[in-house]
Amino acid sequence: MAGGWAPDGAEQAQIDASLDDALAFVRQHLPSGDSAHECAECGDTIPEARRQALPGVQLCVACQEILDKQQQFQAAYNRRGSKDSQLR
Ligand SMILES: [Zn+2]
């Protein structure tokens, strides 16, 4: 079938490009390399077991939990926001 359709592969190329972007973002922001000895947020000592379990870890358990909750809240908030804007 011809006419009016995007060239074959155009859509897939777009998906690949955004996947590459996402992967690059994750690689940049994923902690890697040396684990911190002290929490980047509160300065508490990060237990050796945690440092070894999570290579590149920068936060203590307490701060990581707070951050996770904030991210969950943001995700929920963003979902609600986009749903509202669809209804209007
Ligand atoms: Zn902390």
User: Which of 78 and 50 is assigned the larger pLDDT?
Assistant: 50
pLDDT of residue 79: 79
pLDDT of residue 1: 54
Ion ligand 1: protein residues whose beta carbon lies under 5 Å:
39, 41-42, 44, 60, 63
Residue by residue, what is the 3-state secondary structure of 41-84?
CCCCECCHHHHHHCCCCCCCHHHHHHHHHHHHHHHHHHHHHHHH
pLDDT of residue 48: 95
Q: Where residue 65 falls among pLDDT bands split at 50, 70, 90?
A: very high
Q: Cα of 64 to ligand 1 centre, how many Å?
A: 7
User: Which of 9 and 28 is assigned the larger pLDDT?
Assistant: 9
38 contacts 58 by C-beta, under 8 angstroms: no
**13-62 pLDDT tens trace:** 877 888 788 767 666 666 567 899 999 999 999 999 999 999 899 999 99
pLDDT of residue 40: 95
Q: Which is nearest to 58 in space by CA: 33, 34, 40, 32?
A: 40
pLDDT of residue 31: 53
Q: Cα of 32 to ligand 1 centre, how many Å?
A: 18
